[in-house]
Amino acid sequence: PREEHREVPLDDARRAMHILRDRAAEWGNYQKVGIQGCSAGGHLAASLCNLYQEPAERPDFQILFYPVISTDPAITHAFSVQNLLGKEPSQELLDAYSLDKRVTKDTPPAFILASSDDGLVPVQNSVAYYNALVANGVSATMHLYPIGGHGWAWKTDFPYHEQYKAEMSQWLKENVKFKM
């Protein structure tokens, strides 16, 4: 079953960070490396930001679109949790992968986007993560849009498409010091 290999995606993300940092001079001499994820990919991105094993694996920033964050049955996306952890995970395993419980002062800055009417991944995931980041003194920006549902990250017909691109660009300039 897939849950027996739950570490594979996170191990891949860790390896990717090593490769990006090791090849920075060759690939453009960039100074910062971030991670971005949508939905279940947002869980993977936030996992790397909170469960890295050494400093070289830690992203400098994170951008999360409507992420699965919590394993709390009241607010999680049950299918994502089941795919990652199996049908009957222990409470210890659930807590280990509930990323709102894993935030520390060393978690990288976050830019979070979600829609209040997301019928797939409840917006409470984003809110719980934002609250955990702020409680730990981590720079966090969150934009919640009243409509949009789920899966709009790259859809140009999303009503707030241009707005979120401008907000993200501004955030990157101010918080990550990217030159856009």
CA distance 121 to 72: 12
User: Is residue 150 helix, strand or coil?
Assistant: coil
pLDDT at 70 (0 to 100):
93
- Residues of the chain short of pLDDT 70, as ranges, are 1-4, 178-180
Any long-range contacts for 53-59 (C-beta under 8 Å, 24+ apart)? 53/14, 56/17, 56/18, 56/21, 57/13, 57/14, 57/17, 57/18, 58/17, 58/106, 58/108, 59/17, 59/33, 59/34, 59/35, 59/108
8 Å CB contact between 176 and 60:
yes
pLDDT score at 37: 97
pLDDT at 3: 53
pLDDT of residue 178: 66
| pLDDT value for 1 | 46
* Whole-number pLDDT of residue 141: 98
Tokens standing for 139? Answer: 């720079």
Whole-number pLDDT of residue 2: 54
User: Which pLDDT belongs to residue 4?
Assistant: 61
- Read off the pLDDT of residues 134-154 as tens digits, 9 standing for 90 and up: 999 999 999 999 999 999 999
Fill in the amino acid letter for 117: D
Q: Contact at 8 Å (CB) between 54 and 82?
A: no
